[in-house]
Amino acid sequence: MEKFRFTCARHEQRFRDLVERAGCTDPAKLDELGRKTLAWIATRYPRLVLDHFNEASCLGCKLEAAHVDLAEIDRRTTELAKKMR
């Protein structure tokens, strides 16, 4: 995974730091993890994900603007990352 589409540098780095702390550093696994995390978020916040793609905007920024608890997303991402290392 070189770079996420439609993700600001701050949220991309947040994701990378989170999964690296969980022990997942393989680029192919990071790509898969990004897709799995997005799918999980889409089941809970479908409208925000749809808007994110339609507007080509950062999903992390959209979630923050909607006052979504990012800690829950961080926990789920960490769980997924630990399974993939």
Between CA 62 and CA 82 the distance in angstroms is: 26
C-beta of residue 60 within 8 angstroms of C-beta of residue 7: yes
Give 1-52 pLDDT, tens digit per residue.
Answer: 556 788 999 999 999 999 999 999 888 898 899 999 999 999 999 999 999 9
Which residue's entry shows tokens 């540098």? 9
Summarize the confidence of residues 53-82 as an average pLDDT. 95
Summarize the confidence of residues 74-81 as an average pLDDT. 94
Q: How far is CA 77 from the centre of its chain?
A: 7
From the number of C-beta atoms within 10 Å of its C-beta (0-12, 13-18, 19+), residue 2 rates as exposed
The model scores a pTM over 0.75: yes
Band of residue 58 on the pLDDT scale cut at 50, 70, 90: very high
